[in-house]
Amino acid sequence: MSGSDKCDDEEFDFLHFHLDYYPFSLFSRQPTPFLTTLHGRLDLPEHQPMFNTFAKVPVISISNAQRRPAPQANWIRTIHHGTPERLLTPQPVTPRYLAVLGRIAPEKRVDRAIDIAIRCGIPLKIAAKIDPNDQDYYDEVMRPLMDHPLVEYVGEIGDPEKSDFLSGAIALLLPIDWPEPFGLVMIEAMACGTPVIAYNRGSVSEIIEEGLTGFVVEDEINAVAAVHRISQLDRGAIRRQFEQRFTARRMALDYLDVYHGLTEQVAPKIRLVSSAE
């Protein structure tokens, strides 16, 4: 970028980043208030020196669980993700299968979902992408498990297909084995009125309301039992909880509230004017 094309950061009232800790050093040395939303897991050792060094940089968590490994960070607020209210909606179909949505990776434990579905005797549809770095895991571990009459691998799907896919599911299975920072697929399921059965990892207990939008379980035995209880849940009530808690509008209003609060903490900028002007 040439000198004439550069943007002066003081042209902006507020800066909001989604780049992990990369903006911390540079933007700590300029006057415009800024904020960073952290989206990943924070329990890796390389994160600790960064949060120790930049302990005053304001950050947003996407779940309270995400904060736990870095209590020294300057947490301003937890703002859960949201999606457009009408992007995914319940469809008039009869739920007939269990579902997995997302990607196939060791930490997602789709193998557990297969075991749960087989033990329940209910078909399982897997709509998931395979990243190149997980191809060996899929070929060696997951591909043999797909050769079961109850298991169907759909492949990766996009937003236009998700409403039908999730509405047709008895429940979304999320038997994860890692500290999930948020888990967008949970609120996508809720948007369609579909209950979620998820292992108690990371943000799960914040997102799922036990006995209302799904069940939080500790192991496969409890997951199977939860499948048999799923008919107790009201799919209309699940959609209403999505509308109250996880819309993009609610998320945007939460961020606007934070922007105003941080901007008010900064002294007004004073422009010195010479007598010649």
Q: What is the pLDDT along the chain (277 residues), one digit of tens a residue?
A: 333 444 455 688 899 999 998 999 999 988 899 999 999 999 988 889 999 999 999 999 999 999 999 999 999 999 999 999 999 999 999 999 999 999 999 999 999 999 999 999 999 999 999 999 999 999 999 999 999 999 999 999 999 999 999 999 999 999 999 999 999 999 999 999 999 999 999 999 999 999 999 999 999 999 999 999 999 999 999 999 999 999 999 999 999 999 999 988 875 554 444 434 4
DSSP assignment string, the chain? --GGGPPPGGG-S-EEE-STTTTHHHHTTSSS-EEEE--S---STTHHHHHHHTTTSEEEESSHHHHTT-TTSEEEEE----B-TTTS---S----EEEEEEE--GGG-HHHHHHHHHHHT--EEEEEE--GGGHHHIIIIIHHHT-STTEEE-----HHHHHHHHHTEEEEEE---S--S--HHHHHHHHTT--EEEES-TTHHHHS-BTTTEEEESSHHHHHHHHHHGGGS-HHHHHHHHHHHSBHHHHHHHHHHHHHHHHHTSPPP-----TT-
The pLDDT value given to residue 206: 98
Q: What number of CA atoms fall less than 13 Å from residue 15's CA on the CB side?
A: 20
Angle among Cα 234, 239, 241 to the nearest 5 degrees reads: 95
User: Domains in the chain, ordered, with CATH?
Assistant: 3-82+249-264 (no CATH), 97-246 (3.40.50.2000)
Q: Taking a C-beta distance cutoff of 8 angstroms, is the pair 66, 47 a contact?
A: no
pTM listed for this prediction: 0.91
The pLDDT value given to residue 277: 43
The pLDDT value given to residue 267: 53
The pLDDT value given to residue 265: 82
The pLDDT value given to residue 108: 98
Q: Taking a C-beta distance cutoff of 8 angstroms, is the pair 73, 51 a contact?
A: yes
The pLDDT value given to residue 128: 98
The pLDDT value given to residue 154: 97
